Chains A and B, each alone.
Chain A
């Protein structure tokens, strides 16, 4: 069955430090992959998406993600975290033959001043 997994429930980093949030998927072919961010009490905002082609995808707010087929991963990165990046991050995938988004369970990011 298709699945999207975010292994880390919570991540804490210091402001200015680099960030990597992990996302793994299970699927026999290449899925379409997305990263969303959610501030408390708000909806989800799309950060970036991967459909095909270049495996390094640039998004908004200085985020990027790298698709690695060999590792079935789509990790989100940022070189230098700002306090305003504290939020919950969701990885999601869609798979051929279905309309449906499958969301990971989210990673909550805390940023230390």
Chain B
């Protein structure tokens, strides 16, 4: 079955440490997205990518970095510059970026600070 796989499901970070969240899709989608979800705040866009080797900042990109070397993969690194990284992180994809394209979501990674 096609879908989006996020790993790990739970991740713990020590102060000053970078961590990388994995997102892989086998839907052959061009566009991929990373969102951060905090209670009562809905979903906020961190980064998105419309095509391989290209990505753009979203609304809350500070303290995060991404890469898009392969169509199916869009890893997110939470750097030590992100002072409040505890959140639920969701990866999504769509056939293309566009107003009429539904996004398909992975099951998320919950990141906590030790």
Could you tell me which A residues sit within 8 Å of B by CB distance?
9, 31-32, 34, 36, 41-46, 49, 51, 90, 94-96, 98-101, 103-106
Report B73 CB to chain A, min CB distance, Å: 17
| Cβ of B114 under 8 Å from chain A | no
User: Which residue of A31, A34, A42 is within 8 Å of B102 (Cβ)?
Assistant: A34
| Cβ of B108 under 8 Å from chain A | yes
Q: Interface size on B (CB < 8 Å)?
A: 26
Could you tell me which B residues sit within 8 Å of A by CB distance?
4, 6, 9, 31, 40-43, 45, 48, 50, 58, 90, 92, 97-100, 102-108, 110
A-B contact number at CB 8 A: 58
Instruction: Give Cα A49 to B102, complex, Å.
Output: 8
Task: Say yes or no: A99-B90 contact (C-beta < 8 A), given A9-B40, A41-B110, A106-B42.
Answer: no
* B-chain residues with CB within 8 Å of residue A34 when the two chains form the complex: 102
